[in-house]
Amino acid sequence: MSLHVRLAVDDDLEAILDIRERIAAWLARRGIDQWQEPWPDEQGQRGRILAGIRKRETWLLCEGALPAATVTLVDYDAGNLWAGIEGGHEPALYVHRLMVHPGYMKHGIGAYLLWAAHVRAARRGLPCLRLDAWTTNDGLHRYYEKQKFKLKGYIPDKILESADLVGYPSAALFERRVDGIRGGVPEQVSRLGVRYGAENPYTPTQDFPTDLIVDVPVAKTLAVYGNSSQARF
């Protein structure tokens, strides 16, 4: 199965929301409350995602025309979530809305997207990669720790009490130091065949391009979406 990377466009909004809904259902079956309700509401959620698309900050990893995963990368602290954390004013690359369709989980795709973000930060001279995670999802916290992120703390109450952050559910703040590109490609990523076009190999010094292809070493078909969903794209 080959996946390619591209920037998201306005028409991808419904596909991104569909991935989110499928992940929410996957989490609910495991007794996890993450994403069971949109924050702050459905309109606000759609607006945030669309804004990221229009700012050219949101990327998709696709199998053919169907999105398999998405991530948004920015170089600013949206909402000043890190303002109350020691060192929080240091420049960084921020990872938002990292989502892998449940049908494509367990193949290192999330680790690849984090590595691509790491490379992007290193090439821009940004010393760290940051993200905020669902406050009560301990399994997600363990995943990020496995990806070499460290829990730096939680968004202070005084920030969460601001009018535009009331009820914000992702208060766990994680950081991974970049300090250049060291140690080669992580094991989970090295198991993927990552290349440009048909023949050009990917090296860890290259940026997050739009012509990147990721070969996942597993037999998979578009059936992960099901017939009713295929009709939506």
User: Tokens 């069971």 map to which residue?
Assistant: 36
Residues facing 176 on adjacent strands: 129
H runs (alpha helix) in the chain:
13-28, 42-54, 109-123, 138-146, 157-160, 187-190, 226-230
CATH topology (fold) of 2-222: Aminopeptidase (3.40.630)
* Cβ atoms of residues 91 and 77 within 8 Å: no
Question: How big is the chain, counted in residues?
Answer: 233
Residues facing 40 on adjacent strands: none
Ordered per-residue pLDDT tens for the chain, 233 residues: 678 888 999 999 999 999 999 999 999 999 999 999 999 999 999 999 999 999 999 999 988 888 999 999 999 999 999 999 999 999 999 999 999 999 999 888 898 899 888 888 888 889 999 999 999 999 999 999 999 999 999 999 999 998 789 999 999 999 999 875 555 556 656 555 544 444 444 444 445 544 455 666 544 433 344 432 322 21
H runs (alpha helix) in 76-165:
109-123, 138-146, 157-160
Q: What does the alpha-carbon distance between residue 147 and residue 109 come to, in Å, rounded to a whole number?
A: 12
Beta strands 128-133; 93-100: pairing state: parallel
Query: What residue ranges do the domains of the chain occupy?
Result: 2-222
The pLDDT, as a whole number, for residue 43 is: 97
Angle among Cα 16, 19, 23 to the nearest 5 degrees reads 140
Distance of CA 23 to the CA centre of its chain: 13
